[in-house]
Structure 1
Amino acid sequence: MTIRILVVDDSPFMRKSLQKMLEDAPDLRVIATARDGIDALEKIQEHKPDIVTLDIEMPRMDGLTCLKKIMADHPMPVLMVSSLTQEGAQATLDALSLGALDFIPKESGFASLSILQIQQDLQEKVRRLATSPRFHRPSATPAPAPTTHPTPSTPARPVAPAKPAAPTGTGLAGSPQAELLVLGSSTGGPKALQDILPTLPASLPVPCLIVQHMPSTFTKPFADRLNGLCQVHVKEAEQGEPLKAGTVYIAPGGIHMTYGARGPKGCVELSPEPVSSLHRPSVDVLFLSVAEVFKGQVLATILTGMGADGAKGMEQLKRKGAHTIAESEETCVVYGMPRAAVERGCVDVIAPLTDIPGHLRRHFRI
C-alpha cells in the first residue's frame, strides 16, 4: 500500500526537505505540496491525500486556521510540523486539541546531525497516523480484518490476532485500593490525557505520575494547560519533590522520571539514565522503578501510542499485584503501546477512552 501525502509549508526548502525524507521510503509518496493554508485546502479537494503534514506559521492562512477547516470539512490525519520554541509548543498543543494526531519537531530546517532519526520518526509517524482508527477511510486505505493489527514496520500486513489478556467488560478490583496512580502515553496521548484528567476530582486520594513522550520545551506548557482544565493540581515534575495526594506530576521531556521512596508518599527522582532507552522519558523506566521500590498497591494505565514502551513495566507491576488498564483499539490514535501490554497478558481491563475515567473514579470511590 502506498500512502499519499500532502506537504504544507511556506518554505520551499522545507517542502523539498520533507518530500525527500518521505519519498526515501518506497511506500510513501508526496502527491502534492502547498505553500499556505488556502493552497492546502484546494489541494486536499483536488488530490484527496491520506495524510497531511502541516506547518503552523504561514502567510494568508496559518496552520491552526487551516486545521480547523480540515477537521470541519475534510476530517483526515494531520501531522503538525512544529518548532521547538515556547510559542511553537503552545501552538502545537492547540493543534492537538483541534484534532491533529501528532507532531514532528522542525529542528534547524532538518539540517542537524540527527537527520536520520528525524527522517525515521517522520516516516513512521506518517505510516501509523495514515491508518489510524480515528480517521480510517476505507476508500483510501483498505480496512484490515477485524482480528488483525498493523505492525510498526509494515503497517498494511495482517498479523496474528492479539491474545485477549482480560475480559473487557469487567471493572477494576475495588480492593485493595491503589495508593499510587501511574499512566503512560505517546501518540494521541495529549488529547487522551486532556479527556481523562479533568474528570478527576480534587479529592483524588493518591499522587499520579505520568510519562507522555514529548520534547523538553513542551512538557511544562502541557502541564500548565492541563492544570487550567483540571480540579486536581497538574505540574511538571521536579527533582526530589515529595508526592502529594490530588497532584499529577508530568515527566519533563528529555529526562527519565522514577519513583523515589523518600517521604510519606515517596518523591520524584529525575535522571538521564538509562541513556540507552529508546524514549526519554520512558514509561517502562517509570513503571519498573515503581515495581521495584513502591511497597503499596498500584493502578497502572497505558493509553494510545506507537511502539511498546510501558508493556514490560506493566508486566512487572502486574506480577507485584497491581491493577492494570489499557486503552482499547477502538479509541486509540495508534494501538501500539496498549496492544503490547495486552499481548503480554498483564492487563485487567481493556476499555475505550470514554470509559477509563469511570473505572478510575469507581476504583478510588470518588
Structure 2
Amino acid sequence: MSAQPIRVLIVDDSAVIRGLISKSLEQELDIIVAGTAMNGERALSWMSSHPVDVVILDVEMPVMDGLTALQKIQSDFPDVPVIMASGLTSQGAETTVKALSLGAVGCVAKPQTASAAESIRVLSRELVMMIKAVGAKRKSTVQVVESTVPAKTVSPAPSPTSGQLFQKSIKFYKQPEVLVIGTSTGGPKALAELMPQIPVDFPIPILIVQHMPPGFTEILASHIQKDSGRVTVEAKPNEPLESHKTYVAPGGSHLLIGENNGQKVTLINQAPPEHFCRPSVNPLFRSAAEHYGSATLAVMLTGMGEDGIEGSHDIARAGGTIIAQDEASSVVWGMPAAVVMAGLADKVLPLSEIAAEIKSQCLVRA
C-alpha cells in the first residue's frame, strides 16, 4: 500500500454519476476521492489549489466539455493522468477515442444497469486497477527513472531454458508474415504514434488487440486509418487476411487467426474473458503462433496487467519475434513488463524506436 493514498478528482455534470464513482472507490484504503467538480472549468479551478494524482473526466459536459478540459489539464498539469468516463453514445465514443489518442490514459463506460449496487460493482472492477496503476506511476516517477536499469540491458530472468533460447535464435531471422500488436492502458495514444510510421504498403497484415468496450473499436479503427493512411477495419468473422490491411479486434469479442481452404482468415468469438479482458491479447497471439509459427512478429505495447503473457510464450516457443515497449515510454509497464521479465522479448525499445525495428524486421531482412 502506498504511504499516501492516491488522490482522485471526479469531474461529471451528473451528481448521480459523481456519487456512483465516489461510492465505487470508497472501500479502497489507498484511494481517496479528494474532490468533485461538475464541469471542466470548475475542475481546473479546483486543481489550481489542490493536489491530485488522477482525474476521472466526463466526456460530455456543459461550460467546458471533456475534450477541452483534457487538453487544458495536459497543458497546465502535464503529469496528472486522466481517465475518461463515457456514455455509450456514438458521439461519446467518438470523443472518447479522440481523447485517448491525445493522451487520456484509459476509459470506462458509464454504468447502464438499473441497480445502484451493480453499477458500483462494475465501476469498481474497471476503475480501481486503472487508478492504482497510473496513480502509483505518477507518485513514483522520479524514483523509477533514477533506479531503473535501461530497458535494453534488462536481464531475461526468469528465462526459458537455454534450448528454447537457442531454438529461438535460429528462427529469429525468418521474414515475418504477420504483425500482431497487443495493448491496453495508454494504447490509443501509442498506436496514434506508432501506426503513421508504418508504410501504407507495409507488406503483411497487421492485427491489433486494444482493450476497449463495444462501440469504441470501430471508431478506433477509423482513427488509425486516418492517421496512417493504411486500410484499417474493425475485424469481422472469416475475413481473408490481406497484406496492406490492418484489423482491430471488436470490443467485447476475441480476435483470432484461422484458416479456411488454405486461406488465413479472421475469427471472432465470445469465449470467456482472459485476464478479465475480452478482447484479450492471448487468443490473437496464440493463434498467430499456431498458424504463422516463426514468421510471427509480435509487439506488446503499454498496458496494465499481464494479458498476453501466455500467448507470448507460445510465440516464443514457435520461434517468433517479440518486441516489448520499454518502461520509460509506457503509461503503465504491466503487459510489456510481464513479457520482458519472462525472458520472452527479443527487443525492449522506447515507443519512438519500435516502428523502425518493425520495418527492419519486415522490409530489410530476406
Q: Into which bin does the TM-score normalised by the smaller protein fall? A: 0.7 to 0.9
1:275–1:63 CA distance, 2 compared to 1 (3 A) = closer
Following superposition, the deviation at residue 68 of structure 1 comes to: 1.2
Matched, 1:163 2:161: no
1:196–1:264 CA distance, 2 compared to 1 (3 A) = farther
User: Residue 60 of structure 1 aligns with which residue?
Assistant: 63
User: Residue 109 of structure 2 aligns with which residue?
Assistant: 105
1:219 to 217, 220, 224: 217
User: RMSD in angstroms over aligned alpha carbons?
Assistant: 2.5
- Counterpart secondary structure, 2:356: helix
Distance 2:58 2:156 in 1: 37
1:247–1:264 CA distance, 2 compared to 1 (3 A) = farther
Question: What one-letter code is carried by the residue in structure 1 that aligns with 2:356?
Answer: G
- Once structures 1 and 2 are overlaid, which stretch shifts more, 13-22 or 272-281? 272-281
Question: What one-letter code is carried by the residue in structure 1 that aligns with 2:131?
Answer: V
1:184–1:349 CA distance, 2 compared to 1 (3 A) = same
Distance 2:274 2:355 in 1: 34
- Counterpart secondary structure, 2:147: coil
Q: Deviations over 1:6-37 (max 9, x none)?
A: 11111112112211211210111111111111
- Is the CA contact (8 Å cut-off) linking 1:314 and 1:346 kept in structure 2? yes
2:203 to 205, 222, 226: 205
- Counterpart secondary structure, 2:221: helix
Matched, 1:128 2:133: yes
1:96 to 86, 96, 100: 100
- Taking structure 1 as the reference length, the TM-score comes to 0.88
- Is the CA contact (8 Å cut-off) linking 1:50 and 1:77 kept in structure 2? yes
2:14 to 8, 11, 15: 11
- Is the CA contact (8 Å cut-off) linking 1:261 and 1:294 kept in structure 2? no
- Counterpart secondary structure, 1:248: strand
Distance 1:60 1:20 in 2: 26
User: Residue 147 of structure 2 aligns with which residue?
Assistant: 146
- Is the CA contact (8 Å cut-off) linking 1:305 and 1:336 kept in structure 2? yes
1:196–1:275 CA distance, 2 compared to 1 (3 A) = closer
Question: What one-letter code is carried by the residue in structure 2 that aligns with 1:362?
Answer: S
Question: What one-letter code is carried by the residue in structure 1 that aligns with 2:183?
Answer: S
* 1:1-366 map, 5 Å: 1=2, 2-75=5-78, 76-108=80-112, 111=116, 113=118, 115-132=120-137, 136=138, 143-144=143-144, 146-147=147-148, 163=157, 175-262=173-260, 266-274=264-272, 278-295=276-293, 297-365=295-363
- Is the CA contact (8 Å cut-off) linking 2:172 and 2:294 kept in structure 1? no
Following superposition, the deviation at residue 189 of structure 1 comes to: 0.7
User: Residue 168 of structure 2 aligns with which residue?
Assistant: none
- Is the CA contact (8 Å cut-off) linking 1:328 and 1:351 kept in structure 2? yes
Question: What one-letter code is carried by the residue in structure 2 that aligns with 1:224?
Answer: S
Following superposition, the deviation at residue 67 of structure 1 comes to: 1.2
Is there any run of 5+ residues in structure 2 with no aligned partner, and where?
150-154, 161-170
How many residues align? The count is: 345
Q: Deviations over 1:63-119 (max 9, x none)?
A: 111111111111111111111221111110121133211111102278374642421
Following superposition, the deviation at residue 295 of structure 1 comes to: 4.9
Distance 1:183 1:51 in 2: 27
Following superposition, the deviation at residue 55 of structure 1 comes to: 0.9
- Is the CA contact (8 Å cut-off) linking 2:11 and 2:38 kept in structure 1? yes
Following superposition, the deviation at residue 200 of structure 1 comes to: 1.2
Identity of aligned residues (%): 39
- Counterpart secondary structure, 2:48: helix
Distance 1:22 1:96 in 2: 23
User: Residue 158 of structure 1 aligns with which residue?
Assistant: none
Question: What one-letter code is carried by the residue in structure 1 that aligns with 2:325?
Answer: E
Following superposition, the deviation at residue 336 of structure 1 comes to: 0.4
- Is the CA contact (8 Å cut-off) linking 2:293 and 2:315 kept in structure 1? no
- Is the CA contact (8 Å cut-off) linking 1:4 and 1:51 kept in structure 2? yes
Following superposition, the deviation at residue 294 of structure 1 comes to: 3.0
Question: What one-letter code is carried by the residue in structure 2 that aligns with 1:18?
Answer: I
- Counterpart secondary structure, 1:108: coil
Distance 2:255 2:103 in 1: 28
Distance 2:263 2:343 in 1: 29
1:117–1:35 CA distance, 2 compared to 1 (3 A) = closer
1:98–1:233 CA distance, 2 compared to 1 (3 A) = same
Is there any run of 5+ residues in structure 1 with no aligned partner, and where?
149-160, 167-172
